[in-house]
Chains A and B, each alone.
Chain A
Amino acid sequence: MIGIAPLEARHREAWDALVAAYPAGGFMQSWAWARFKELEGYDVVGLGLFEGERLTGGALAYGFPSPAEAGLLAVPDGPLLDWDAPDAGDTFERLVATLRRSPPGRQAVVLRVEPRLALGGAGELPAPLRGLARSPVDLVPEETLQVELGPEPEMLARMKPKGRYNARLALRRGVEVVSSLEPGDVHELYRVLEETADYHGFLLEPKSFFINLVQALVPQTGRLAFARYKGITLAAALTVHHGDTVTFLYGGHVPLFAQLMASYALHWHLMREAARDGYRVYDFYAYVPADRVDHAYAGFSRFKEKFGGRPVRRVGSRDVIFYDRLTDAALGALRTASTRPRAPLTKAAEVVR
Chain B
Amino acid sequence: MFQFDLLIFGNTGWGDELLISTIMTILVSLSSMFLGVCLAIIITWAKISGNLIVRIIANFYTTVIRGIPELLVIYLIFFGGSATLMYLAKIFGYNGYIELNAFTMGTISIGLISAAYSTEVFRGAYYTLGVGQLEAGKALGLSRFQSFIKVLAPQMLKHALPGLGNVWQITLKDTALVSVTGLVEIMRQSRIASNVTHSPLTFILSAAILYLILTSFSSKAFNKLEEFTNKNDSVTQ
Determine if chain A interacts with chain B: no
